[in-house]
Chain A
Amino acid sequence: MIEATLARSAATARRRLLDICFPVLALGILCAALAALGALIADVWGDGASRLSWDFMTGFPSRRAADAGIWHALTGSVFIILLTGALAVPIGVATAIYLEEYARRGLWSKIIEINITNLAAVPSIIYGLLGLGLFVRALAMGRSVLAGASTLALLVLPVIILSTREALRAVPGSIREGSYALGATKWQTVWYQVLPVALPGILTGTILALSRAIGETAPLITIGALTFVAFAPDGIWSPFTVLPIQIFNWVSRPQQEFQVNAAAGIIVLLVLLLTMNATAIWLRDRFQKKLT
C-alpha cells in the first residue's frame, strides 16, 4: 500500500520534472537559433567593419581588393528593385483585386489561387531559367536591367498578391456597402473606398516582398548578370550587376582580402534590408492603430 503510493508519487515527480525540463529545452533551442543569428552578425561585422569607408561605397571594382568598391553594384541593386516594383506592384495589386473583389467562386479562380500558392514555393533559380529562356533569349532583351527586373518581378508577384489579398480582406464590408448605397459602381467603390483603406497594408507587403528580392542572387546569376561590371547602369538596356552577386564573386575568391570585401558588402546589404524592413513594420504599426 505504502509502496504503491511511493511509486505513484515517484512517477508524479518524474512527470513534473519532465514537465519543467521540456519548455526549458525548447527555449534553449530557440535561443540557440537566435544565437546563430547573433554569431552571423558578429562574424560579418568583425570581418568587414574595418573595410567600410566612403571610398568603398563609391568605388568601382578592381583587381586589387584594397581599391575595390561597390558603387556599381549598389546602384544596380537599387535600379533593379525600383524597376521590379514598378512592374510587379500594378499587376500584383490588380490580380489581388480581381481575386478578392470580382472573382466568383468558380473553377477559374480556384485554378488561379492554387497556381499562385504553388508559384510562391517554386525555387528562385527556376525563375532564373525562365528569365533566361523567355526574357533574355525569346524576347531578346539580352542580359539587361530590364530582363533582370522582369525576372524578379515574376518572382515577387505571388508574394505581393498574397499580402495584398490579406490587406483587402481586412477592409470592413461596411465600407463597401456604404459606397454602394450611395450609388457608386463596383470599380468606384474599389478605387475610391477600398484601396485607400488597404493602402498601408499593401505597401507593407510590397516592401517586404521587395526586400526579399534585393537579396536574391541565384535567378540573376542564371540570366547571366555579369560578375564584373565596371560602371553603374545608365538605362534599362544596360548590363548590370547587383550587390549579392558582387558579394558572391568576392566570397568565391581564395584571397582573404576579397573575403573582407565580401563581409563589408554584406554589412551594406543587411543595413539596406533592415531599413526596408523597419519601414514596413513602422507602416504596419501605424495601420493597426488606425483601424482600432
Chain B
Amino acid sequence: MKLKRFEFLIEWALFLCALLSVGTTAGIILVLAVETFAFLREVPITDFLFGTEWTPLFATPSFGVLPLVSGTVLVSAIAMLVALPCGLLSAIYLSEYADHRVRRAIKPVLEILAGVPTVVYGYFALLFVTPLLQRVIPGLAGFNALGPGIVMGIMILPLVSSLSEDAMQAVPRSLREGSYALGATKMQTSLRVVLPAAFSGITAACILAVSRAIGETMIVAIAAGQQPRLTWNPLVPVETMTAYIVQVSLGDTPQGTLEYRTIFAVGMLLFVGTFILNLVSAWLRERYREEYA
C-alpha cells in the first residue's frame, strides 16, 4: 500500500517538472505582456508599430520601432543570402554524394561551427571580416550590416545544412531508384526528385534559420553599430531589436521608466515574430514526417 502511494507521488512529481516547461512559456508571455501594456498606455500602438524614428533615450523621445525592424530584417536577409544556398548545397552534397568517410570527417566540424559562442563570432565580424571587406568596398563603415550579416550566415549554415540533410535522408530510396531507372543523372535526381520531395522539411529548416537570425544578439551588438536607422543600405551602421535590448541593459536606465519598458515592448515584438516562425516550422516538419512515415 505504501509502495503504491509512493509510485503515485513520483508520477505527480514528474508531471509537475514537465509542467514547468509550460510555465516557462507562460512566464515569458506574462512578463513581456505586463511591461508592454504599461508601455502602450503611454505610447499609442500605431506610433510604436509604424513610427519611423526610434530615439527613446533623447530628451524628446520618439518610439517608432520601424528602424529597429528594418535593421533586423536587413542583417537577417544578408545572413540568409549566405546560409540558404550554401547550407542547401552542402546538405545535398552530404546527403546524396558524400561517402561515409567524408561525412564522418565533415559533420563534427560543422557541429563545432554551430557551437562557437556568438560573442566570438562578433569579434570575428568586427575585427576580421569587416576590415577584409573594407579593402574591397571602400565606402564601408567600421560598423555595418554586411560584415555581421555574412558572419551570421556562416553561423546558421550548419543548422540549415543538418536539418535539410535530415529531410533529404527521409526521402525513400525508391524515388531515387525510379529516377535513375529513367536515365536521370545524379545531379538531376538530387535537384529535381529528392529536393522537391523533401521540400516541406527544407522549408521548415529555412524558417527556423530565419527565426534564429532574427533572435541573434551578440554578433550585431558588437559589429553592426548602435544607430537605429531606417535604411536598406548594408554599408552603414544600423541597430537591430536585439542590439537595442543589449544597449539599454548595459546602461543605467532606472527601472520602471518608459525607456526601461521599451526593451520589453521590443522583446514582445521579437518573441511574437520568432514564435510564429517556430510554429510554422514545427508544423511543416510534422508534415514531412507523416509524408514518408
Listed in ascending order, the chain A residues whose CB lies under 8 Å from chain B are 15-16, 18-19, 22-23, 25-27, 29-30, 32-34, 36-37, 39-40, 43-44, 47, 90-91, 94-95, 97-99, 102-103, 111-112, 114-119, 121-130, 132-134, 137, 154, 157-158, 161, 185-187, 211-212, 214-218, 221-222, 224, 227, 244, 247-248, 251-252, 259, 262-263, 266, 269-270, 273, 277, 281
The listed residue (A23, A127, A216, A224) touching B93 by CB distance below 8 A is A23
Give B24-62 as 1s and 0s: 1 = Cβ < 8 Å from A's Cβ atoms: 110110011011000000000000000000000000000
User: CB within 8 A of B242: which of A119, A125, A273?
Assistant: A125
- Find residues 203-218 in chain B having any chain A CB closer than 8 Å to their own CB: 208, 211-212, 214-218
Which of A43, A103, A222 has most chain B Cβ within 10 Å?
Answer: A222
Whether A221 and B93, one on each chain, are in contact in the complex, defined by CB atoms closer than 8 angstroms, is: no
Which of B3-11, B63-71, B227-235 makes up part of the contact surface?
A: B3-11
- Determine whether the beta carbon of A187 is less than 8 Å from that of B6: yes
Chain B interface size band reads 35 or more
A33, B86: Cβ atoms closer than 8 Å? yes
Q: Annotate B109-129 by CB proximity to A: 1 below 8 A, 0 otherwise.
A: 110110111111111101110
User: Which residues of A are found within 8 Å of B217, using beta-carbon distances?
Assistant: 123-125, 217-218
Q: Inside 8 A of B190's CB, which chain A residues have their CB?
A: 22
Q: Taking the nearest CB of chain B, how far is it from the CB of A6, in angstroms?
A: 19
Chain A nearest CB, measured from B71 CB (Å): 15
Contact residues of A: prevailing secondary structure: helix
B1 at the interface (CB under 8 A from A): no
- A123-B277 Cα distance, complex, nearest whole Å: 12
Q: Which residues of B contact A (CB under 8 A)?
A: 3, 6-7, 10-11, 13-15, 17-22, 24-25, 27-28, 31-32, 34-35, 85-86, 89-90, 92-94, 97, 106, 108-110, 112-113, 115-124, 126-128, 154, 157, 185-188, 190, 208, 211-212, 214-218, 221-222, 242, 245-246, 249-250, 255, 263-264, 267, 270-271, 274-275, 278-279, 281-282
| A-B interface, 4 closest residue pairs, ranked by CB to CB distance from nearest | A123-B215, A215-B117, A133-B31, A26-B93
Complex alpha-carbon distance, A273 and B124, angstroms: 17
CB of B90 within 8 A of CB of A33, answer yes
Contact present for B264 and A102 (CB under 8 Å): no
Starting from the known contacts A19-B185, A123-B274, A270-B116, 12 additional A-B residue pairs (CB-CB under 8 Å) come to A25-B89, A29-B86, A30-B93, A33-B154, A40-B128, A43-B128, A94-B17, A133-B31, A215-B116, A221-B246, A266-B123, A281-B108
